[in-house]
Structure 1
Amino acid sequence: MTPRPSARGLGPRHDDRRRTFPPLAPREAPDGRFAGTWWGNAWVDALEDTALDPARLARGRAYAGRGHVDAITVTPGRVVAYVHGSRPRPYRTEIRLRSLGEDGWEDFLDEVTARPDHLAALLDKDVPHAVGAVTGLLPAPGDLIPDCSCPDDGFPCKHAAALCYQSARILDEDPFVLFLMRGRGEQELLAALTRRNAARSAAEASAAAPALATVPARAVLTPPADDSVPRPLPPLPEPLPVPTRPGRPPAFPPDPDAPDPVALDLLATEAAARAHAFLTTGQDAVASLSPWQDAVRLAAAHPGSGLTASTRALYRDLADALDRTPTDLARAVAAWRQGGPAGLDVLETPWDPPAGPFDRARPALLATDFPAFRPWRNRLSTRSLQLRLGRDGLWYGYESDTDREDWWPRGTPDADPVGALSALLGG
């Protein structure tokens, strides 16, 4: 049979969306971690943070450390391997995760090409923190779905945990594997980055640089003919126009003898944003905040999804500096994200509202078939739901486990208590 012309003479075709890695030799880092990079550890954290049984994780770690995981195959949204257990026949194990949509990849490409140092870092197999935080590229708790042919219904079973630990080592060596997991092969992604970078460079080259007013040096430095007569100096040039947005900080590579790169990036970004706001408005809204309010604001602005290892470290350090607990800070961050300074005030300061909107709230809730709420100061509570009236006239939703005074901000503030409760219930 004569082969088709299109196939004649062609060798095996490279599949950019499927990569298989040979079994990894047994190994565990001296500190007990399988990953050596922050993104590799974020991958492990995503599964550990939702694991229901620490004992299964420990056995999975031991399996991975002893090299029980066979070759690992990665395709978009899926990581698959055979894992040897107590039986002679290995188990087919996989971890599934969501692929990024087109909008997510557009955000990723914009983030990388906006910073030449980010592009250079990626080509050097390094992932800057700002790139890793964009568009949910790194998995958050609950993103990784384990599955295994073994009879154990644990979440995860020890075989899936072993696969997750070994996958982190692959991510250490080549972060482009993470991009493949999210849906884009290395060559496909590099081609898109090249096109986007070329288009950006062409646009920047074609943009005319603003003309800068100058003062000739001779007009200032040439001695006057008569020293007794003051020489008039030319006027100073006009200030440069304020940029449309704050500048971006450089990438800070990790160094064991240097400060945390996440903290440096956060502080540099913060300084640029405050400087830009002061140039454009003449005001610094941050200056009036207390140290605690400022710590909450900084933590709330930290990019990322879920409490990754870097986020937990940030929360711990900020809380320790102000003699608070990480839980205090996490609750305050939820309030800040719910309503800014007003939301934090609602969390921390009960007050006695005047008669009017507060008194009308309970009948309005009863009229719409919501359960009866108990009033106390500016709060209306059931056994698990709570509405708090803020000094700004908005109602803020809170939730707690039934019959526990452990209230957490939830939902969107609303001027109508019925609307705030509907947002709290997701209705």
Structure 2
Amino acid sequence: MNRARSTRGAVPRHDDRRRSFPQLVPRSAPDGRFAATWWGNAWVAALEGSALDPARLARGEAYAGRGHVDAITVTPGRVVAYVHGSRPRPYRTEIRMRTLGDDGWERFLDEATARPDHMAALLDKDVPHALEAVAGLLPAPGDLVPDCSCPDDGYPCKHAAALCYQAARLLDEDPFVLFLMRGRGEQELLAELARRNTVRSAAESGAVVPPMPTVTARTVLAAATGSLLPSLPPELPVPDRPGRPAVFPPDPEAPDPLALDLLATEAAARAHAFLVTGHDPVAVLTPWQDAVRLAAAYPGSGLTASSRALYRDLARALGRTPTDLARAVAAWRQGGPDGLAVLEEPWDPPAGPFDRARPALLAADFPAFRPWRNRLSGESLQLRLGRDGLWYGYESDAGREDWWPRGAPDRDPVGALAGLLRR
């Protein structure tokens, strides 16, 4: 009884090898294909290459398009969902596939860490075409084995085809779903990729740490009895760059290893900057500015599957929304702390550059802009004058006050808008 009471409020353990996804609303790619990525279409091609009845495939694609596939659960070697058909009760449908053995994963990990651009692509939820050659990673015709509780003995039945089409959407959003199907969870893979990348980088650098100057304890004790103490050894030289953080393997009882890696990397960068300059550039930032800086430094552009969790957690911690953070990140990438201030702090500029901007824009054949404090607004373009004397460009859909930072700042308002229109 006491044991049951003590575990009642325990936090559930994270299962890296089981992921569930809510019901999807599919969208076809612009060229009419069901999937948008090359690996998603490889999954669809494996289904269609082994199908015995094109009519059942067409029915399955229509089922997927009408939202007949409920939540999908992915575990190693299996994709399962309930699919609604013509009867009131849905059918339990699954797709089975072979998982990769240790040798297959060794080949994949060796290829993935052989080049830095492969690592960067995987962290940004993209699969380089070079990894397509890794044997057994992508399914081939005959690799996907359908099974369904319906009475149809087609291969596959329309319910299994619908599940397979929807699974392609999951792969589009996050290729780590494919790796999970093949037997490895995301956190497990990321930890191993990080470990191998660290080992490879250390081997390539070939750096040799010089021995640290020392003073023996015997010398110090002898000097303390009557002589002057020996001089201290010279200070060690400051390294050229911050050190790499340790590798944090996943542990259900520990914090997220990616979050630990981010914090360790930040601490190393700040310590190195302080050693070199005697100044900590982050110490003067507010918590919100620091959160924006962290999100802006995250690899990749825009909100990918891998960055959504970071944006969500940072925004929630500061009482903001992920959209607020995404807009602030765009401002930070546009002009750093000054760009963020331009986004969030309207002010009244003195006469001079602001007053001369409107006739200069009219002379350059731009439509008339409405002035308000440090802002000049048009139908879908806006300029904001920063306290640093630079003009910052913004865009919005016509008729909406939903302004987003765009382009590079410029001391000339015409130049700021011209650079914006060249994008």
User: TM-score interval w.r.t. the shorter chain?
Assistant: 0.5 to 0.7
The equivalent residue for 1:88 is: 55
Give the CA RMSD over aligned residues: 4.2
Structure 2 residue 390 is matched with structure 1 residue 382:
no
How many residue pairs get aligned? The number is 301
Query: 1:248: Cα distance to partner?
Result: 1.2
Contact 1:379 1:386 in 2 (8 A): yes
| CA–CA separation in structure 2 for the residues paired with 1:243 and 1:342 | 30
Q: Which amino acid aligns with 1:281?
A: T
TM-score, normalising length from structure 2? 0.60
| CA–CA separation in structure 2 for the residues paired with 1:222 and 1:384 | 80
The equivalent residue for 2:368 is: 372
Alignment of 1:319-398 (within 5 A): 319-398=315-394
SS, match of residue 415 in structure 2: helix
The equivalent residue for 1:415 is: 411
Alignment of 1:6-405 (within 5 A): 31-33=19-21, 54-56=24-26, 80-83=45-48, 87-88=54-55, 90=57, 123=109, 134-135=120-121, 138-139=124-125, 160-165=165-170, 169-172=177-180, 201=203, 204=206, 209-210=209-210, 212-222=212-222, 230-405=226-401
| CA–CA separation in structure 2 for the residues paired with 1:381 and 1:245 | 44
Deviations 1:6-60 (A, max 9, x none): xxxxxxxxxxxxxxxxxxxxxxx865249xxxxxxxxxxxxx9xxxxx53379xx
| CA–CA separation in structure 1 for the residues paired with 2:178 and 2:259 | 27
| CA–CA separation in structure 1 for the residues paired with 2:52 and 2:403 | 44
Q: Which amino acid aligns with 1:172?
A: L
Query: 1:122: Cα distance to partner?
Result: 7.1
| CA–CA separation in structure 2 for the residues paired with 1:255 and 1:326 | 27
Q: Which amino acid aligns with 2:167?
A: A
User: Is the alpha carbon distance of 1:341 and 1:379 closer, same or farther for their aligned partners in structure 2, counting shifts above 3 Å?
Assistant: same
| CA–CA separation in structure 2 for the residues paired with 1:121 and 1:320 | 40
Contact 2:125 2:305 in 1 (8 A): no
User: Is the alpha carbon distance of 1:239 and 1:313 closer, same or farther for their aligned partners in structure 2, counting shifts above 3 Å?
Assistant: same
The equivalent residue for 1:105 is: none
Moved more, 130-139 or 333-342: 130-139
Contact 2:385 2:392 in 1 (8 A): yes
Deviations 1:87-143 (A, max 9, x none): 5364799xxxxxxxxxxxxxxxxxxxxxxxxx999748998xx98762576446xx9
| CA–CA separation in structure 1 for the residues paired with 2:331 and 2:323 | 12
Deviations 1:191-237 (A, max 9, x none): xx99x959x74762xx664353221232013486xx5xx33111110
Contact 2:393 2:420 in 1 (8 A): yes
SS, match of residue 237 in structure 1: coil
Unaligned runs of 5+ in 1: 1-28, 35-47, 49-53, 59-73, 94-118, 144-156, 179-192
Dislocated runs of 4+, deviation >6 Å: 74-77, 119-122, 124-127, 130-133
User: Is the alpha carbon distance of 1:203 and 1:284 closer, same or farther for their aligned partners in structure 2, counting shifts above 3 Å?
Assistant: closer
SS, match of residue 359 in structure 1: helix
Q: Which amino acid aligns with 1:354?
A: P
| CA–CA separation in structure 1 for the residues paired with 2:19 and 2:122 | 28
Contact 1:125 1:173 in 2 (8 A): no
SS, match of residue 393 in structure 1: coil
Moved more, 302-311 or 375-384: 302-311
Contact 2:293 2:332 in 1 (8 A): yes
Indicate the percent of aligned positions where both proteins have the same amino acid: 59
| CA–CA separation in structure 1 for the residues paired with 2:53 and 2:402 | 44
Contact 2:292 2:332 in 1 (8 A): yes
SS, match of residue 56 in structure 1: coil
SS, match of residue 325 in structure 2: helix
SS, match of residue 386 in structure 1: strand
Unaligned runs of 5+ in 2: 1-16, 29-37, 62-104, 130-161, 187-195
| CA–CA separation in structure 1 for the residues paired with 2:326 and 2:267 | 23
SS, match of residue 324 in structure 2: helix
User: Is the alpha carbon distance of 1:78 and 1:330 closer, same or farther for their aligned partners in structure 2, counting shifts above 3 Å?
Assistant: same
SS, match of residue 388 in structure 1: strand
Query: 1:173: Cα distance to partner?
Result: 5.8
| CA–CA separation in structure 1 for the residues paired with 2:250 and 2:321 | 27
User: Is the alpha carbon distance of 1:305 and 1:266 closer, same or farther for their aligned partners in structure 2, counting shifts above 3 Å?
Assistant: same
User: Is the alpha carbon distance of 1:86 and 1:173 closer, same or farther for their aligned partners in structure 2, counting shifts above 3 Å?
Assistant: closer
Q: Which amino acid aligns with 2:259?
A: A
The equivalent residue for 2:189 is: none
Q: Which amino acid aligns with 1:88?
A: A
Q: Which amino acid aligns with 1:371?
A: P
Moved more, 273-282 or 292-301: 292-301
